[in-house]
Structure 1
Amino acid sequence: MELLQQNVAAAGRVIMDVIQAEWEPLSHWELDQRLDRAVEEMIEADLVAQVQEQMNSAQQEDSSADQTHTPKHSEPKQPVQESALQRSHATEVMEANPTVQYVTNFLQSSNMGFSKNRMSGRARLSMSHTVLLSLTLLSKRVSYRSVSSSFHLEKGNIHRIFFSFCDQVIAQQNRIIQWPTGQEALQNLLPFSSWHSRSEGLEERGLPRVLGVLGDTRIPIRLPSGKPDNETDAPDAKRPKSEVHPDSWLNLELVCNSNGRFIYCHISKGSESDRGKTLTERLQKHPEMVPPGACLIAGVGHPLTEQILTPFSTGRSPQENLYNRALGNHLGRFNQAVADLKERFQKLRYLDMGNFERAKTVVLTACVLHNVFLDMGDVTKGLIEKSAVEDVEELNQDAAGVKMRETVANLLYSSLEEGTL
Structure 2
Amino acid sequence: MEVREETVAPGGRVLMDAMQAELEQLSSWELEHRLERAVEEMIEADLVARVQEQTTSQQENSAPPDEAEQAVPQRSESRTAVQRARAPEATGTNRIVQYVIHFLQSGNTSKKRLTGRARLSSSHTVLLSLTLLSKRISFCSVSSSFQMKKGNIYRIFFSFCDQVTAQKDRVIQWPTGQEALQHLLPFCSCNEGPEERGLPRVLGVLGDTRIPIRLRVAKPYSESDTPEAMRPKNKPHPDSWLNLELVCNDKGRFIYCHISKGSEKDRGCALAERIRQNPEMVPPGTCLIAGVGYPLTEQILTPFPPGQNPQENLYNRSLGNHLGRINQAVADLKERFKKLRYLDMGNYDKAKSVVLTACILHNVYLDMGDMTKGLVERSTPENMEEVNKDAAGVKMRETVVNLLHRTLEAAPQ
TM range (shorter): 0.7 to 0.9
Q: Provide the rounded CA distance (Å) in 1 between the counterparts of 2:104 and 2:394.
A: 45
Structure-1 residue corresponding to 2:308: 316
Q: Provide the rounded CA distance (Å) in 1 between the counterparts of 2:194 and 2:271.
A: 28
3-state SS in 2 of match to 1:303: coil
Structure-1 residue corresponding to 2:183: 188
Which of 198, 206, 214 is matched with 1:214 structurally? 206
Task: For 1:52, give the aligned amino acid.
Answer: E
Residue by residue, what CA displacement relative to the aligned partner does 1:45-86 show, whole Å, maximum 9, x if unpaired?
Answer: 9677974354899xxxxxxxxxxxxxxxxxxxxxxxxxxxxx
Equivalence map 1:7-406=2 (5 Å): 51-52=66-67, 54=69, 97-114=94-111, 119-122=115-118, 124-203=119-198, 207-406=199-398
**What is the RMSD of the two structures over their aligned residues, measured on CA atoms?**
2.4
3-state SS in 1 of match to 2:385: coil
Residue by residue, what CA displacement relative to the aligned partner does 1:76-120 show, whole Å, maximum 9, x if unpaired?
Answer: xxxxxxxxxxxxxxxxx888610001001111111133457x524
Relative to structure 1, is the Cα distance of residues 121 and 244 closer, same or farther in structure 2, using a 3 angstrom cutoff? closer
Q: Provide the rounded CA distance (Å) in 1 between the counterparts of 2:326 and 2:58.
A: 49
Equivalent pairs counted in the alignment come to: 341
The structure having more radius of gyration, on CA atoms, is: 1
Relative to structure 1, is the Cα distance of residues 108 and 196 closer, same or farther in structure 2, using a 3 angstrom cutoff? same
Q: 1:297, 1:331 within 8 Å by CA — same for their partners in 2?
A: yes
Q: Provide the rounded CA distance (Å) in 1 between the counterparts of 2:225 and 2:121.
A: 50
Q: 1:373, 1:379 within 8 Å by CA — same for their partners in 2?
A: yes
Q: 1:95, 1:101 within 8 Å by CA — same for their partners in 2?
A: no
Q: 1:248, 1:270 within 8 Å by CA — same for their partners in 2?
A: yes
Q: 1:213, 1:257 within 8 Å by CA — same for their partners in 2?
A: yes
Residue by residue, what CA displacement relative to the aligned partner does 1:207-244 show, whole Å, maximum 9, x if unpaired?
Answer: 11000001110001111112123312323344211322
Relative to structure 1, is the Cα distance of residues 415 and 239 closer, same or farther in structure 2, using a 3 angstrom cutoff? same
Structure-2 residue corresponding to 1:9: none
Ranges in structure 2 where 5+ consecutive residues have no aligned partner: 1-55, 73-89
Q: 2:117, 2:156 within 8 Å by CA — same for their partners in 1?
A: no
Structure 1 residue 417: Cα displacement: 2.0
Task: For 1:396, give the aligned amino acid.
Answer: N
Q: Provide the rounded CA distance (Å) in 2 between the counterparts of 1:214 and 1:53.
A: 55
Residue by residue, what CA displacement relative to the aligned partner does 1:109-168 show, whole Å, maximum 9, x if unpaired?
Answer: 11133457x52444x421110000000000001011111121111111111000000000
Q: Percent identity?
A: 67
Structure 1 residue 195: Cα displacement: 2.2
Q: 2:134, 2:336 within 8 Å by CA — same for their partners in 1?
A: yes
Structure 1 residue 44: Cα displacement: 12
| TM-score scaled by length of structure 2 | 0.78
Structure 1 residue 198: Cα displacement: 3.3
Task: For 1:182, give the aligned amino acid.
Answer: G
3-state SS in 2 of match to 1:97: helix
Q: Provide the rounded CA distance (Å) in 2 between the counterparts of 1:270 and 1:176.
A: 25
Q: Provide the rounded CA distance (Å) in 1 between the counterparts of 2:408 and 2:271.
A: 33
Residue by residue, what CA displacement relative to the aligned partner does 1:8-44 show, whole Å, maximum 9, x if unpaired?
Answer: xxxxxxxxxxxxxxxxxxxxxxxxxxxxxxxxxx999
Q: Provide the rounded CA distance (Å) in 1 between the counterparts of 2:137 and 2:247.
A: 29
Q: Provide the rounded CA distance (Å) in 1 between the counterparts of 2:283 and 2:382.
A: 32
Relative to structure 1, is the Cα distance of residues 373 and 96 closer, same or farther in structure 2, using a 3 angstrom cutoff? closer
Q: 1:260, 1:333 within 8 Å by CA — same for their partners in 2?
A: yes
Q: Provide the rounded CA distance (Å) in 1 between the counterparts of 2:138 and 2:222.
A: 32
Q: 1:198, 1:420 within 8 Å by CA — same for their partners in 2?
A: no
Structure-1 residue corresponding to 2:53: none
3-state SS in 1 of match to 2:242: strand
Q: Provide the rounded CA distance (Å) in 2 between the counterparts of 1:198 and 1:215.
A: 27
Structure 1 residue 279: Cα displacement: 0.3
Relative to structure 1, is the Cα distance of residues 383 and 53 closer, same or farther in structure 2, using a 3 angstrom cutoff? closer
Ranges in structure 1 where 5+ consecutive residues have no aligned partner: 1-41, 58-92
Q: Provide the rounded CA distance (Å) in 2 between the counterparts of 1:288 and 1:45.
A: 54
3-state SS in 2 of match to 1:390: coil
Q: Provide the rounded CA distance (Å) in 1 between the counterparts of 2:201 and 2:168.
A: 27
Q: 1:213, 1:298 within 8 Å by CA — same for their partners in 2?
A: yes
